[in-house]
Structure 1
Amino acid sequence: MMPPDFSAWYAERHGYSPFPWRAALAARIAARDWPDALDPPTGSGKTAVIDVWLWARLHGLAVPRRLVYVIDRRLVVDGVSDYARALADSLAIEQRPAVITMRGGLSIDESWLADPLRPAIIVSTVDQAGSRLLFSGYGISPRAAPMHAGLLGNDALFVVDEVHIVQPLLQTLASVAGQRGSAVALPWRVLPMSATWSGARVHGLSDADWQHPLLARRLSAAKPAVLRHLPSETDLAHALAAEARRLRREGAAVVAVVCNQVDHARAVFAHLSGDGEAVLLTGRIRPYDRARLSAAYLPRMAVGSRSRRAPLFVVATQTIEVGADLDMDALVSECASLSALRQRCGRLNRLGELASAPAVVVHREPPGKSDPVYGEEIERAWKWLNRVASGKPATVDFGIGAMDRTLAERPPPAEDRPVAPLLLPAHVNLLAQTSVRHGIDVAPWLHGWRSGPADVHLCWRADWSPDAVLAAPPAEHELLAVALHAFRRWSAAVADVEGGEPVGREHLHRQQCMRWDGEEAALIASDEARAGDTLVLPADAGGCDAYGWAPTSQAMVSDVGDTVRRVRLHPQVHPELAGEIGALLADDDATDADWRELARRSGVLDGEPGRVLAYPGGCVVLRASEWSSESGMRAVPLAQHQQAVSTRAAALAAGSGLADELVDALRRAGAGHDTGKQDRRWQAMVGGDGSLLLAKGPGSDSRWLTLPRGWRHEMASAVHQKDPLVRHLVGTHHGHGRPLLPAAPDIGLWRRLGDWAEETGELQRSYGAWGLAYLEALLRLADWAVSAEEQAWN
């Protein structure tokens, strides 16, 4: 049966018809004729690939359940996420996919894990999606890593935007595709998307697109870029600012200046701040600050805002190159690679509302060393631009149609691409051993050999103590992603290539930080930081201002750790409440109700205050909906719990489309996953009286003393299973045993599971690393879901 017309469905969502290339893509996917890549140009609405996928999912076409939209610009991740949420909200509630944003830190919404059968749109940076796929998720615990890898490695469509900047990831995804195996036969596909792609079976614009009245106007609009050459001794920031001022005088309202490095952008911003309103946009900024700047400035430079514009200078790094729905009147760009320049010009006159929009490309002779971002590509691009330029001053038209003709007539030299190391089966085997601290850095598989280490995520707190962090863990909105090498240099008071000159003195408060791993905060030396770490710094350490990462700033950093779900009542966090907080801290008779009343008056919480979590010097008050009134768990009979998990695991397996034998394996694993809890010591701990075996119960903390330290009920459960796959699923259902079991005090358990590591290796070879992880994930998620339902509180 043919699905409903895509164009009509799209028009119902958006109020207008799709461009022809979008409808043609939907028709291809309906016919199972997937292209190898998409190459519609900037301004043609590439994000609509999400619409095509969602339409196909809703109408039963053979497309993967999860769409993972990967783009390596944080600003754009937010924009694509907003688009996906608006699209989801246009549907009936029961049809809406989950929409998840992954761009660093520990507080990423993990609701997509709760129901592996629910379609999901996951918008992610390279680091987040890539590290999770490789069993090394930045910001998640090793025990959770196999679940993320399993779900991303099965029933997923990876749409990789602007592949010219993420070639290593694309190479790694190709290696993953070749090693997934066929035992868990779920779909998995990669769809590269780039305006600069070349190759066979590419889906792009047709004659119908070039003749479409709106799209044709965008494609034919002129974008003449004047080439400006500067001697090496020239002040680059001064020259870029001067060009921006000239374009303003000539009538452009919103003038963008795009720089290759953060320190260049900050210098230009300093020049222009006194010449009218200006904003600085970089990728190294906390989501809290990004949202504040976006609310204030993006409406003034977004597509469709030209008729109501006021003058504005927009100084940015390459964070605005890709996908951002921005529309500038004029552009000044530091010379970069040709593909980067084309993307930057894509932010210029996006809708073709202006017959011509001016640009300037400024090239300063290299001062003796290659550019740390683009290397030799800058010189190659500059030479080619001068060969194809015409007129005086030398000018190149970066309009989409004009540039396509120039590229066809005088092709540029191929650009260097970073190369990823080959992902071998031996590498995958090691990465999948998540219970072993192997210390493998996955950054080269994501960014290539030329890249530096991956990011760390920084959080600044006024109440800087492990107890305070445990009570109020770092939240996504307060985390700033910084390259590991940049953080190390800053913490040692050494200038970063992006950050300026050394500050000239030691900063002891920078040389220590707290590493938050999702469970505890540990004090470490700053030079011990690892890729993917979330690090908590004291607010007086400096390094961040209203526009993001500012290595030379020594000013106090604002603490933005409160959320609509929690408020921290600490005198250093809320100095305006310091007197009242101090009085309650000094009052031995102060009650939780007193703290809740103060939280209510603070105006931070969205809803009624609930649970109070005290720590030395302050407390955290959570929103009422975030906590349960019950002091312990409800008693749940063991047989009832295991039967419910068995039924749920089998349903998830069948709903995923797994083979009958795998459905049966998960059914049996669910039925026996907690058999080890029959142990009388466990029963004593959960408050059982011997008349009925319990899976969970109110118990008390003191009753843990009845169990030896390190005892694991899943090991005690696994010994009862004879089938290797079922035994493995039972033994790993809390994330341990990949491939080493926890050090248990019961030698008898170790003896009966002595060949566990070898058996895990055999299963991984049989089902594939991602297939085995997926099967584990289904059992674990079934257990989580059933447990949550059993403990639900109204």
Structure 2
Amino acid sequence: MTALRPEDFDAFMREVTGFEPFPWQRRLLREVQAQGWPALLDLPTGVGKTSVLLIALFHLAMDPQRGFRRIALVVDRRIIVDQVDGFAQKTLDALNSADPDKAISAKVAERLRALSSDPEAAALHVAHLRGGIPRDDSWIQAPDQPTIIASTVDQVGSRLLFRGYGVSEGMRPIHAGILARDTLYFLDEVHLATAFEETLAQLEDRYAGWAARGEDTGRRFGVVRMSATPGGDPARARFVLDDDDRAHPELEKRLNAPRLASLVQVKTARSKEPDARARNREKLALAACQHARQAVQERGARGIGVVVNRVDTARRIAARLKAMKLGEVLLITGRMRPFERRAVEAELARSVATGVRLDQERRPTFVVATSCIEAGADLDFDALVTEVASLDALRQRFGRFNRLGRHEHTAAWVLGCSDQLGSKAADDPIYGAALRETWAYLEEVASSEGKAKVVDFGLSAFEELEKLEDPARREALLPPRAEAPLLFPSYLDMWSETRPAPYPDPDPALWLHGKREHEERDVQVVFRADVPAPLAEPRGRELEWAREAVEFLPPVAEEAVSVPRRELVDWLGKQGFAWRWTAEGLESVAVETLGVGDTVVVPAGRGGLGSGTWDPAASAAVEDVAEQALFALRGQARLRIDARCLPPALREGLPAPSRSGDPEALEAAREVAGRWLDGLVDLVDLVERAPALGEAGELSASWRALLTAIGESTPEARALTIAEGEEGLVWRVVVEPTQGVALEVSSEDAVSSFTGLEVSLKDHLEDVEAWAGEFARQAGLPEALARDLALAGLLHDLGKADPRFQALLRGGDLIRAAGSGLLAKSQQFGSRSERARAQARSGWPLGLRHELVSLALLDASEALQQKASDLELVRHLVASHHGWCRPWAPTTRDPKPQRVRVEVAGITAEVSTAALDDAFTSACAARFRRLCRRYGWHGLAYLEALLRLGDHRASARPTLRPKKEPS
């Protein structure tokens, strides 16, 4: 394999970004190679901080023993730094390029691929943890896959503490284990995430040697703090710009560029009444629009940023600017649905991204935003209107203004509402006293230009100002420091109990945001056109219709918008009911019982989105993007032949819903649906001429891509199924995954055995044995431990040999099961109701766990036990591979115990399911607690994750084995 040298980094930077590295980037790589990552990167905004991801990736490729497999950028904002995705995509493009001018990128890609045991592995995986969706764990592909992660504190932090928001109980230990090992955390703007920083430090330092064999469970995580606020923490070793950086022509221009802004006070009324606060926001919106228009008409601005502190204010400003028709208006907030945000980001990249020429010939672009663009957004405005905030927030906002120091004519204003200013003003809900203190400070340091007070927010100018400050005064300009409570072992004991969680259950938010945190907590909202509103608690057919509809297209992160729980509860009505999506499917719950991290499915006709942003006042029906989102995320093509879900251009000739049970009528309806589908296939030739498809005009690019995939599939790969819904019988199209597209897999109980492809039990067990063992070796685990994981993989599904479970995998057909070989996975990918009918026919007891039957078979075989080095660990791994037995095992008794006999590795094991008694299940809990002390809370979770991800990998691509086989 071709070696990499530090000198190759320059070429790698050029090939990925198109630019030479700055001196500090070269110096940081040398320092990391010599002595590891510094504790704090104290770098101003606008100097290319996001490149630390590239440095960490290059270091991993150059020195795999010291580099980190997972590189996570964490920002304490409601949305992820979306530009990280674009930056990572550039990196991916370079790594995958066949361009001979990108030779170093090819070397990096070769070395990154070599780190993975998967022969089909990509060089890099990119993940956005933007909100937890049950059964949407696609970001965890394999534990040895090089991965860049962009996340909020909430998402990555809650996962580390075994309480991942939106993550099912069964998947929590996988997330906790993976993120606690071989992961490098970059905490951006660390002064805004002090509570989480303290929690990481306690996990990193206090409990590093807590477990007896914790050192056996892989490499621990690392933390690098990053700040754009000059000074940083004097007690911590810092990496800062040096004289070579300041002398660099490009950096010198950025550091010394003036960023002049006028202070403008907006007259508002001091009142706690909601109507008065709404009028104040309207006055602020009006003032912001006036200055934005002034920037265009008097200064010739073409890229205008308008940044305010609240989503409601941003919506008002965007609506006013659109009515003024001065140019393109883009609204971007932390409450946007990712599907729409992608389009906005694409327009941002074309119009106001750093390096885009803002010439006078183009129409102005107004970007109206909340604080979501403060950290990491690679935007460059020539005019900025911003609401006053804390000093650090303002500095971030001005980091998007004249970012490269290249705009000749600029204009900026800082607006302060008078009711929030002055010593008698109440603390701001977001910024506390820092908002009014910052305004007072700006007035002190401002220079007078006529009647205006002007402040220079240039990077060098602000450095000089802060050198004159009293440290206590400087602290007053920042939001209150959030302190995390002490992290006692008893809390980790409780959090490690993931299924079920104990009661009471400590709220992890205290350790993520601190004891004084009052930030709104979010739920995820998905809009569906074919799901009715539960006006009362639904029962019977109504519940099944809704479940079937959502099960066909399980929610994914691209279609979910983050909404404050309190706002959603008020919008839905506290006394009403709502659909909640869980790992086990859809359920109806009382609105007031909705919790943080829940995923709620709302009828699209209810409204709730305006310009892709959460807006409880918006009444227009929301576009249902389920098919498009699933196809964009996973390449899986499914389609509802339903006028409520299709764009107007595709509705002609649709079969009408019918409730007729007449077989002849049903067959006639099938023929109509088939003709419509054939017509859809014919449309593939017309998608480039989409306006001809109907008066509605062009189909979107995402619809075109989906239709093309369906049309280009073979007739054998397309399945036409029927389902009963609220409107009557409806038809659906499922296209089998094409070659190279992995099956949808999960270890969630509802769907884990129904992948749509029949796999023998023997093949599956041997596949998982290979993957689990190789994952363990790639993680650097001792050989004895790697063999134990491989053994657990070989044994984990033995319980599926029960004849009743075999019948379940064959649709409940006991006769067919008796005459066939043992299966691990079913060819069926049926609906919830079909699985329920198969279970009833098969006789497999509801609630009986096949993994516990696997454990009983192991306990009954002395020969299998002798293969284990740590038998207790192997027992636990077998029993917990669906997330149970942490600590409690389900206590379902088999009403008609069966003898189960199976052969594995030349050894025959046999047991009666009557062995699953109280003593058997109680032993699981005691064993779990002993193993936590032996391997550590996160160490044990990591070992479980290696096995379970091996199971996922084997299920996704049956018969595909790792590059290295277990010996």
TM over 0.5: yes
What SS does the aligned partner of 1:293 have?
Answer: helix
**CA–CA distance in 1 between the matches of 2:175 and 2:612?**
32
Does residue 736 (structure 1) correspond to residue 884 (structure 2)? The answer is yes
Does residue 749 (structure 1) correspond to residue 806 (structure 2)? The answer is no
C-alpha contact 1:514 1:521 (8 A) present in aligned 2: yes
The residue that corresponds to 1:66 in the other structure is 70
CA apart distance, 1:289: 1.6
The residue that corresponds to 1:379 in the other structure is 436
Does residue 259 (structure 1) correspond to residue 308 (structure 2)? The answer is yes
C-alpha contact 1:739 1:760 (8 A) present in aligned 2: yes
Match of 2:195 among 168, 176, 180: 168
| CA distance 1:771–1:279, change in 2 (3 Å) | same
| CA distance 1:150–1:595, change in 2 (3 Å) | farther
| CA distance 1:209–1:481, change in 2 (3 Å) | same
CA apart distance, 1:547: 4.2
C-alpha contact 2:124 2:146 (8 A) present in aligned 1: yes
C-alpha contact 1:224 1:356 (8 A) present in aligned 2: no
CA apart distance, 1:388: 1.9
CA apart distance, 1:141: 1.8
Does residue 536 (structure 1) correspond to residue 601 (structure 2)? The answer is yes
What SS does the aligned partner of 1:394 have?
Answer: strand
The residue that corresponds to 2:380 in the other structure is 327
**CA–CA distance in 2 between the matches of 1:624 and 1:696?**
16
Does residue 47 (structure 1) correspond to residue 50 (structure 2)? The answer is yes
CA apart distance, 1:453: 4.7
C-alpha contact 1:39 1:194 (8 A) present in aligned 2: yes
What SS does the aligned partner of 2:45 have?
Answer: coil
What SS does the aligned partner of 1:605 have?
Answer: helix
Letter in 1 for 2:474: P
Match of 2:223 among 168, 171, 190: 190
**CA–CA distance in 1 between the matches of 2:756 and 2:559?**
32
The residue that corresponds to 1:3 in the other structure is 5
Does residue 405 (structure 1) correspond to residue 529 (structure 2)? The answer is no
Deviates more, 1:77-86 or 1:102-111: 102-111
CA apart distance, 1:80: 0.5
Does residue 466 (structure 1) correspond to residue 547 (structure 2)? The answer is yes
**CA–CA distance in 2 between the matches of 1:76 and 1:755?**
43
Does residue 588 (structure 1) correspond to residue 666 (structure 2)? The answer is yes
The residue that corresponds to 1:212 in the other structure is 248
| CA distance 1:154–1:595, change in 2 (3 Å) | farther
The residue that corresponds to 1:676 in the other structure is 799
Match of 1:634 among 731, 749, 758: 758
**Deviation string, structure 1 residues 356-410 (Cα, Å, up to 9, x no partner):** 7332212222366432211211111112222222224322211001101111122
The residue that corresponds to 1:305 in the other structure is 356
Matched residues, number: 776
| CA distance 1:371–1:611, change in 2 (3 Å) | farther
Does residue 290 (structure 1) correspond to residue 341 (structure 2)? The answer is yes
The residue that corresponds to 1:446 in the other structure is 512
**CA–CA distance in 1 between the matches of 2:155 and 2:461?**
37
Gaps of 5+ in 2: 96-105, 113-122, 270-279, 532-545, 632-636, 684-702, 745-753, 810-815, 829-834, 860-864, 866-870, 895-913, 961-967
The residue that corresponds to 2:99 in the other structure is none
Does residue 525 (structure 1) correspond to residue 590 (structure 2)? The answer is yes
The residue that corresponds to 1:498 in the other structure is none
CA apart distance, 1:744: 2.7
Match of 2:787 among 641, 656, 664: 664
Percent identical residues: 37
Task: Give matches, 1:756-767, under 5 Å.
Answer: 756-767=924-935
Does residue 140 (structure 1) correspond to residue 206 (structure 2)? The answer is no
Does residue 269 (structure 1) correspond to residue 269 (structure 2)? The answer is no
Tell me the C-alpha RMSD between the 2 structures. Answer: 3.0
Letter in 2 for 1:776: E
Gaps of 5+ in 1: 494-507
| CA distance 1:613–1:740, change in 2 (3 Å) | farther
CA apart distance, 1:679: 4.2
Deviates more, 1:214-223 or 1:266-275: 266-275
**CA–CA distance in 2 between the matches of 1:657 and 1:628?**
29
The residue that corresponds to 1:570 in the other structure is 642
Deviates more, 1:282-291 or 1:625-634: 625-634
C-alpha contact 1:455 1:531 (8 A) present in aligned 2: yes
C-alpha contact 1:441 1:531 (8 A) present in aligned 2: no
| CA distance 1:155–1:334, change in 2 (3 Å) | same
What SS does the aligned partner of 2:140 have?
Answer: helix
C-alpha contact 2:80 2:128 (8 A) present in aligned 1: no
Deviates more, 1:147-156 or 1:352-361: 352-361
Letter in 2 for 1:71: V
**CA–CA distance in 2 between the matches of 1:583 and 1:336?**
56
C-alpha contact 1:40 1:46 (8 A) present in aligned 2: yes
C-alpha contact 2:889 2:922 (8 A) present in aligned 1: no
C-alpha contact 1:67 1:157 (8 A) present in aligned 2: yes
| CA distance 1:303–1:74, change in 2 (3 Å) | farther
**Deviation string, structure 1 residues 24-72 (Cα, Å, up to 9, x no partner):** 1111111123210112111111110111111111112402211112224
| CA distance 1:709–1:703, change in 2 (3 Å) | closer
Does residue 345 (structure 1) correspond to residue 394 (structure 2)? The answer is no
C-alpha contact 2:806 2:823 (8 A) present in aligned 1: yes
| CA distance 1:475–1:595, change in 2 (3 Å) | farther
**CA–CA distance in 1 between the matches of 2:393 and 2:839?**
62
CA apart distance, 1:333: 1.3
Letter in 2 for 1:588: L
What SS does the aligned partner of 1:754 have?
Answer: helix
Please report the TM-score for the alignment, with normalisation by the length of structure 1. Answer: 0.91
| CA distance 1:634–1:553, change in 2 (3 Å) | closer
**Deviation string, structure 1 residues 649-690 (Cα, Å, up to 9, x no partner):** 222111110123321321332233234345454456565558
**Deviation string, structure 1 residues 700-723 (Cα, Å, up to 9, x no partner):** 936863433322222122242562
CA apart distance, 1:641: 4.1
The residue that corresponds to 1:150 in the other structure is 177
| CA distance 1:448–1:702, change in 2 (3 Å) | closer
Does residue 625 (structure 1) correspond to residue 749 (structure 2)? The answer is no
Letter in 1 for 2:946: L
Please report the TM-score for the alignment, with normalisation by the length of structure 2. Answer: 0.75
C-alpha contact 1:471 1:614 (8 A) present in aligned 2: no
C-alpha contact 1:139 1:518 (8 A) present in aligned 2: no
**Deviation string, structure 1 residues 319-377 (Cα, Å, up to 9, x no partner):** 11111111111112111000001001111000110357332212222366432211211
| CA distance 1:380–1:745, change in 2 (3 Å) | same
What SS does the aligned partner of 1:214 have?
Answer: helix
The residue that corresponds to 2:484 in the other structure is 420
C-alpha contact 2:743 2:957 (8 A) present in aligned 1: no
| CA distance 1:614–1:133, change in 2 (3 Å) | farther
**CA–CA distance in 1 between the matches of 2:606 and 2:790?**
53
Letter in 1 for 2:93: D
The residue that corresponds to 2:875 in the other structure is 727
CA apart distance, 1:691: 9.2
Letter in 2 for 1:429: D
| CA distance 1:395–1:789, change in 2 (3 Å) | closer
**CA–CA distance in 2 between the matches of 1:631 and 1:23?**
48
Letter in 2 for 1:337: S
